Amino acid sequence: MRINAKNGIENYTLNVIDNDKGNIVKRLYQTLGNEVVKTNFGSFDTIKVSASSPESSEIIYFLAPELDYFVIQSYSSIKEWEKKYLENY
């Protein structure tokens, strides 16, 4: 995902291991735009990327170009009204 973001590739698929079931799923990755994300270490301009698959919930990633496209925040939609965040440090 980081390499594709570095190279400006906005739509692609990857085979990944599903965290819930442990099986391999094909996820569609799409760049959704840019967003500023506030963390304990300051605010960062990020690229917002969606990863979706019919077999699992959607995951949203925020990659910071100034940190070599490191994922500084992500969340998955468990239900329409509930999101599970990966803690940022």
Exposure on the CB side of residue 6, measured as CA atoms within 13 A: 9
Task: Give residue 20's pLDDT band: very low, low, confident or very high (50, 70, 90).
Answer: confident
Beta strands in the chain (DSSP E): 11-17, 24-39, 42-53, 56-64, 70-79, 82-86
CA angle 68–25–46, rounded 5-degree value: 25
Q: What is the predicted pLDDT for the residue at 45? A: 98
pLDDT at 85 over 70: no
List, for residues 26-84, the tens digit of each pLDDT value: 999 999 999 999 999 899 999 999 999 887 788 999 999 999 999 999 998 765 655 55
Number of domains into which the chain is organized: 1
Residue 34's domain comprises 2-86
Length of the chain: 89
**Residue where the block lists tokens 């963390």:** 39
